[in-house]
Structures are given as structure tokens and as C-alpha cells.
Amino acid sequence: MSLFGALRAAMGVPELRRKLLITIGLIVVFRVLASITIPGVNGAALRDLFSTNGLLGLINLFSGSGFSTSGSNAGISIVALGLNPYINATIIMQLMTVISTRVKEMSKEGDLGRRRLTQYARYLTVALALVQGFGYTRLFESFNFDGQAILSPTTSWPTILEIVIILTGGTIVIMWFGELITEYGLGNGVSIIIMAGILGQVPGAVLSFTNGGSAETFTVFMLAVIGIVVAAGIIFVQQATRKIPIQSAQRVVGRQVYQGRSSFLPLRVNQAGVIPIIFAISIMFFPTIFGNFFAPASGTGGGVIGTAAVWVHTNWNPFGPIVWVDIGYEFVYFALIMGFTFFYTAVTFDPDDAADNLKKSATFIPGIRPGRATAQYLARVMSRITLAGAIFLGLITVVLPILAALLTGQQPNQGLYLGGTAVLIVVGVSLDTMKQLETQLLMRQYRGFIH
């Protein structure tokens, strides 16, 4: 079923129509909040900061474009932190299920345990938002190269506290929006809000790709071809699964004999999604924070630490002035994405638990002994397909912008650098939402047939 066909069918079902309207309405409110900016922001300094550091562009991408960095209305919106604190809190709670036995037991307590973990994630989101809001405030105060700062260094502490509370409140509001979409709307609320922020940047990205609309026809054509090929590749990998054949044993219940059935255990190639990119961005952003906190206002002096901070601020980005630093930057970024893909896949998929569940349900993999041998087999298969998924993520986020720049004859820029990651998120979220919509439609067809 096509996208427009599914939407047309959904609008004919009252319950699905209500879900779609709730989702669209909350997205509209989110975009309105993203247009409300904090007063006292130097728009020119903000554009300068984002134009010289691609990592901040990636953070803005995942925050739902809470930083407006183009045009005369450049500023910091009240939802500038976006869902980054909530995403980080959720990831931390997932990691705790591996580290803490108590948290792992809680996650297996059914709906009650999941609600408790969600509540803990909300509390942690508030704490992380307060810390991150204060960090951004201090960062924007200290960024005063060329004699200008995003926020005035003489900003009073009550004003700083007010900004931190506003930013934290914005995160809480859109976190609530995300949960409302998940519960009463259609699709995963957090992912849809991030996708809405990305789509809101599409007009500016198109102008950036085409140099304000003045690019040659060949460049525009090549960008369109690259976009279509990348989207097709992402769909192929996102949908790809390794089907492990499984066989259920014959069972006798009373006098009834139930024959064993053959089925498949699907293992996704890209099990981690875009989470490894978020992890990698967090690590790569640490040197930038160091550079902006400790760099002297004049750009010179400050001893060894000040000199190192200025060097990091100037050179530690995807398209800096030193070629070997750019190559090292991309290599480290690629390696972090690879490592975090394996790490997060190991957190979300436990071969021992999967083998134990198969054994409890009297199901086995043909030719593999139940128990420990099954867990080892699943771990071996998962490591191989995870390698393919990790390479895919690295190619999309690191190699693709370089290839796009070479094919189109453009210099690597922030728009190209964000393009692969943005397409990955939009396509992935769209596929998941379409699956949910088609499932809802199919369920209602079966209900009508039964009744």
C-alpha cells in the first residue's frame, strides 16, 4: 500500500483519523514553540558558531532544530535542548538494565516495571536538562571570538537561572508531546518530533546544497540522484533481516497431539538504529566544549591550556583548515560509530536470554543444541550482521558527505555533512510509522471480517 493510499484509508476510519489529527496537531504546536526565541541572543555570533562547527549542527539536528541559525531571526528557541536529555536518559536506563541486576529484574516485571523505569527516565531527563541547559548557557557566554558572544558575558545569575529553567521546561513539554503521540497518536512520538524538526530544515538545506539556488543544473541533478540512491539504500538496510530457522517441538496436551511448526527468528541488520550516532556525537563534542570554555577572549594567550583550546576550537571539526586533522576527525568518528553499534546491539539483544526463551517455549534451531550452544550461535550470527550494520552507519554519516562533495564538485559543508544522517532518520521513522499505520488498517479489516 502506498503512503497516500494508506493515509486516505486511515482518514476514512474515525479512530485512525483521530490519531492522525492528534499527531499533526502536536507537531504544529512543537514547531510554533520552536519559533519562540530567548531574548538577548546575538544572532550573528550564533551563526558564526554553527558555521564553524559541524558537531553543533548535528546536535541541532537531533534537538529538532531548536537553534535557528539562518536569516534575520537567528536565535535560541525555548525548546533548543530538544529531546537530547530524554534520549540520553532513556539510553542510560537501558544501560542500567545490563549493569544493575535490580533494574534488569524491574524491566521484566511487565507493565508495572516498565512504568517505573519510564518514571525514573523522566526524573533523569529533568536533571540532565538542567545540567545541559547550564552548560549551553556558559558555552554561549564564553564564545566571544572576534569580539562577540552569543550571550553577554555580563549576564546576571538570575537571568542565567531563568534561561536554564526555560530550556528545561521546553524539554519537558516536548517530552510530554512525544509521550502523547506514542500513546494517543500514530508512531513513536520521540522519533516523529525529531523528524519534524529535520523536515523543518529542508528548505534551508536545499538552498545550502544549491548555493542559494544558483548551482548548476548538473550539481542539482547529481544531488537528486545521490538522495534517491541513499534513500533506497537506507530502506534496503533498514528492512534487511537475517532469518534464523527455528522449529517448535511436538507437544501432547491431553489426548491432542500438536505437531511442531517451522518458523523464523528475524535478526535486524541495523539493530541499533541511530543511537550509535548520538553516542558518537556526545564523545566528539567534548573537545569542542573544552575549546569554548578555556579559549581566551582575544583568541591568543592563556598559556598552554588557552593555546590548546584555541587550536581545538579552530581545527576540531569535519571541514577544518588542516587536512590531516580532518582525516583524523573522520576516522575517529567512524570508529566510534562502529564501536557504539556493537555496544548498543549487545545491550538490546542478549543471546543468552533469546536462547533461554527458545528453550522455555520448546523451540530449537535445527542442527544446534538448545541452551549454551544456541546462545553462542546467535551471538556469532549477530556479530556478523552487526558488522554490516555498523559499516552502513559509518558510510552514511562519514563517507557519504565526502563522496557527495566530490561528485557534485562542491566543497564539503555543514549541509552535506548533515544530509546522510538526516535522510537516515527521516527514512527510518517514515518506515516505522508506515508499518504501524498498515498494521492498524489490517487489524480493522480483520475485525470487520470477523464481525
Structural domains of the chain ordered from first start: 1-200 (1.10.3370.10)
Residue 329 has a pLDDT of 84
> Which phi and psi (to 5°) does residue 258 adopt?
-100, 120
Report the alpha-carbon distance of residue 301 to residue 431 in Å, rounded. 52
Report the alpha-carbon distance of residue 165 to residue 154 in Å, rounded. 19
* Closest CA relative to residue 65, chosen from 76, 54, 53: 76
Question: For the residues of 38-91, what is the DSSP string, one character each?
Answer: -TT--HHHHHHHHHT-HHHHHHHHHTTS-EE-SSTT-EEBTTTTTTHHHHHHHH
Report the alpha-carbon distance of residue 7 to residue 446 in Å, rounded. 19
Report the alpha-carbon distance of residue 88 to residue 445 in Å, rounded. 39
Residue 94 C-alpha cell reads as: 537501558
- Strand, helix or coil for residue 241: strand
| Predicted structure pTM score | 0.76
Residue 295 has a pLDDT of 62
Residues 6+ apart with CB under 8 A from 282: 88
Residue 286 has a pLDDT of 73
Residue 247 C-alpha cell reads as: 522449529
* Closest CA relative to residue 38, chosen from 163, 214, 200: 163
Burial string for 192-226 (b: 16+ CB within 10 Å, else e) reads bbbbbbbebbeeebeebbbeeeebeeebeebbeeb
Report the alpha-carbon distance of residue 403 to residue 398 in Å, rounded. 9
- CA angle at residue 139 from 280 to 332, to 5 degrees? 20
Where do the H-state alpha helices sit in 143-216?
157-184, 189-200, 202-209
> Which phi and psi (to 5°) does residue 363 adopt?
-120, 145
pLDDT mean for each 10 residues of the chain (451 residues): 68 82 90 82 72 65 64 72 84 80 79 85 91 80 62 79 90 91 85 81 65 63 78 84 82 59 84 79 73 60 71 73 81 89 85 86 83 90 91 84 68 58 79 80 62 48
Residue 245 C-alpha cell reads as: 530457522
CA distances from 169 to 65, 189, 273 (A): 17, 18, 28
Q: Which residue has the cell 545550502?
A: 208
Residue 124 has a pLDDT of 92
Residues 6+ apart with CB under 8 A from 192: 23, 27, 178, 181, 185, 429, 433
Residue 449 has a pLDDT of 47
Residue 377 has a pLDDT of 92
